[in-house]
Amino acid sequence: MHGMTDEKDGHPHSGIDYLSELPQARPHIHETRKFPDGFLWGSATSSHQVEGNNSNNDWWDWEKAPGHILDGTLSGRACEQYERYEEDFDIAKSLHQNAHRLSIEWSRIEPEEGKWDMDEVVHYRRVLEALKARGMSVMLTAWHFTLPKWFAAKGGWESGDAIRAFERYVSFLAAEYGDIVDHWITMNEPMVYLVQSYGAGVWPPGVRSPIRNIHVFSKLCLSHKAAYRAIHRVLDGRTGADGKPVPVMVGISQNVITFEPYRKQSVVDGVFVWFADKMFNRQFFIWTWGAHDFIGINYYFHYRIKYVPRKITQLFYEVHTENREVSDLGWEINTAGIFDAIISMSRYRLPIIITEHGVANGDDGKRPRIIVAALKEVYHAILSGVDIRGYFHWSLIDNFEWEKGYSGRFGLVAIDYLTMKRTPRRSAYVYADICKANGIPHSLLRFMGHGVRW
Ligand code: BGC
């Protein structure tokens, strides 16, 4: 049967009717690529990046020092979400999102060691209830990079007391908000924190020391484990209104980088990639094994790595993009990589949630395509058998992008920082179509350049 010619286009073809032989293919041709029922469609933020006036944490003074924030901006009033959260949640709801990820600002809840600010505790209850009132599932991050000043002054994660202090804080959150939170993230991207704060030294406390880096790594692992156990201790055994046990889901958000050897023929590039993948993506899970109910993946980076022994400054490697498509921040856009990240992390045989994925793209020329392309990869990963429960786009609104200041615009919704006006971008509506359909409408795939059959 080989070598036949298609009557319509004259192209040689094998004569095999692929579509009838692939059980999944036929029903999908023109239909929405459906995601599993109950899939979480949301977006994510973090307290310091959106709330404003978080003057009691370690970033507030750090930002003021010359050179620390590349564009010279300060978090300041940020997006005023502390006051405008209902407006933002209304927007998310109107965009058909059924879930939201946000963080609690530790320095507000516990402004002094061991003292809880009950006004702030009530404030966050209102915030979380506002999500529930809109029928949205709540994913709560306990620690997203910022530390209370008192904790930083004691030495931050290096302090002898750090694990106990974090456990006390997280237990308090579990007791206060356990009835309202669906997924707990104890910490966001511990490995990124280590690289930025104790490797490159560009985030507070601005340390560059391999020894202290390793010390903090061990403290973060132990702190996560303590927090994981604490949340389960407080919440296990609860039952819902129907009398059935409510599952307690606790994890972390891990920034997963897809590393690729630059020279495929080079053994040394390959070995280095294996090492980088293990150290950056997997080491934390190895050391905290047994303390995860799901794996949270944040996907942004694809690194083509060339091992360069003499370049100590870059940890012996260079990353190459060679004029590929990049975001406004110069990060290579490689949406197909999210599939590889998922497959790699599926080795742990736990449910996976994409807790962040997004792109800095102020004019929104790329974001719609990037969302569709990445979700198509997530769809393929689901078809391949991986238990993926949700996708949270970073971010709902533009916000304070750490050492990059306000120039990195990640929002589905644009913020005018003078008026604080929120304006959904085109990508927000593209994503809304997907959330509403619980899948990727075929028309969107066609629009993004896919053939009718694929
Ligand atoms: C972090 C966010 C950050 C985003 C974009 C993630 O690494 O969790 O806080 O804004 O990436 O850089």
Residue 174: which H helix or E strand, with range?
helix 162-177
Residue 14 has pLDDT above 60, yes or no: no
Q: Mean pLDDT, to the nearest integer, of 96-108?
A: 99
* CA of 192, closest atom in ligand 1: 7
Residue 247 has pLDDT above 90, yes or no: yes
| Residue 6 confidence (pLDDT) | 39
**4 band by pLDDT with thresholds 50, 70 and 90:** very low
* CA of 360, closest atom in ligand 1: 5
Residue 17 has pLDDT above 60, yes or no: no
* CA of 402, closest atom in ligand 1: 10
**Is the distance from CB of 101 to CB of 74 less than 8 angstroms?**
no
Alpha carbon distance 169, 161 (integer Å): 12
**30 band by pLDDT with thresholds 50, 70 and 90:** confident
- Phi, psi (deg, nearest 5) at residue 431: -65, -40
| Residue 16 confidence (pLDDT) | 47
| Residue 411 confidence (pLDDT) | 98
Q: How long a stretch of residues is the chain?
A: 454
Dump pLDDT digits (tens) for 322-335.
Answer: 899 999 999 999 99
**Cβ-based neighbour number of residue 410 at 10 Å:** 27
SS3 102: strand
**12 band by pLDDT with thresholds 50, 70 and 90:** very low
- Determine the residue type at 51: E
Residue 1 has pLDDT above 50, yes or no: no
Residue 15 has pLDDT above 80, yes or no: no
Give strand ranges (E) for 144-294.
183-188, 249-255, 258-261
| Residue 367 confidence (pLDDT) | 96
Residue 104 has pLDDT above 50, yes or no: yes
| Residue 217 confidence (pLDDT) | 98
Report the separation in Å between the CA atom of 13 and the middle of ligand 1, taken as the mean of its atom positions. Answer: 46
**13 band by pLDDT with thresholds 50, 70 and 90:** very low
Report the separation in Å between the CA atom of 164 and the middle of ligand 1, taken as the mean of its atom positions. Answer: 26
Alpha carbon distance 255, 426 (integer Å): 26
* CA of 145, closest atom in ligand 1: 9
Mutate to test the pocket of ligand 1, among 332, 401, 404, 415 (most ligand atoms within 8 A of CB): 401
Percent of the chain with pLDDT over 90: 85
**296 band by pLDDT with thresholds 50, 70 and 90:** very high
**Cβ-based neighbour number of residue 130 at 10 Å:** 17
| Residue 321 confidence (pLDDT) | 86
| Residue 446 confidence (pLDDT) | 79
**3 band by pLDDT with thresholds 50, 70 and 90:** very low
Residue 11 has pLDDT above 80, yes or no: no
Alpha carbon distance 340, 196 (integer Å): 25
Residue 7 has pLDDT above 90, yes or no: no
Going by alpha carbons, the residue nearest to atom 12 of ligand 1 is 401
**Is the distance from CB of 112 to CB of 149 less than 8 angstroms?**
no
Dump pLDDT digits (tens) for 144-187.
Answer: 999 999 999 999 999 999 999 999 999 999 999 999 999 999 99
Token look-up 């004029």 returns 323
Of 26, 137, 35, 134, the residue nearest 437 (C-alpha): 35
Query: Is the pTM for the entire model greater than 0.85?
Result: yes
Average pLDDT, the chain: 92
Report the separation in Å between the CA atom of 20 and the middle of ligand 1, taken as the mean of its atom positions. Answer: 44
Q: Which residues pair with 305 in a beta bridge?
A: 261, 319
DSSP code for 405:
G
**314 band by pLDDT with thresholds 50, 70 and 90:** low
Dump pLDDT digits (tens) for 204-229.
Answer: 999 999 999 999 999 999 999 999 99
Return the ∠ at Cα 239 (arms to 238 and 245), rounded to 5°: 95
Q: Mean pLDDT, to the nearest integer, of 69-96?
A: 98
Alpha carbon distance 145, 168 (integer Å): 18
Residue 139: which H helix or E strand, with range?
strand 137-143
Mutate to test the pocket of ligand 1, among 361, 394, 397, 404 (most ligand atoms within 8 A of CB): 394
SS3 150: helix
Ligand 1 neighbours, Cβ below 6 Å, are 46, 49, 188-189, 192, 255, 298, 300, 356, 394, 401, 410
117-121, 275-279, 318-322, 381-385: least confidently modelled range:
318-322
Report the separation in Å between the CA atom of 14 and the middle of ligand 1, taken as the mean of its atom positions. Answer: 47
Residue 2 has pLDDT above 50, yes or no: no
- Pairing status of strand 295-299 against strand 249-255: parallel
Residue 267: which H helix or E strand, with range?
helix 267-276
Return the ∠ at Cα 421 (arms to 415 and 426), rounded to 5°: 60
DSSP code for 277:
I
Alpha carbon distance 121, 348 (integer Å): 35
Alpha carbon distance 81, 47 (integer Å): 9
17-31, 191-205, 250-264, 300-314: least confidently modelled range:
17-31
| Residue 313 confidence (pLDDT) | 57
Q: Which residues pair with 101 in a beta bridge?
A: 44, 139
| Residue 10 confidence (pLDDT) | 44
| Residue 312 confidence (pLDDT) | 61
Q: Mean pLDDT, to the nearest integer, of 24-38?
A: 76
Q: Mean pLDDT, to the nearest integer, of 11-39?
A: 63
SS3 65: coil
| Residue 451 confidence (pLDDT) | 58
Mutate to test the pocket of ligand 1, among 402, 403, 409, 415 (most ligand atoms within 8 A of CB): 402
Of 293, 274, 307, 447, the residue nearest 371 (C-alpha): 447
Of 117, 109, 124, 203, the residue nearest 157 (C-alpha): 203
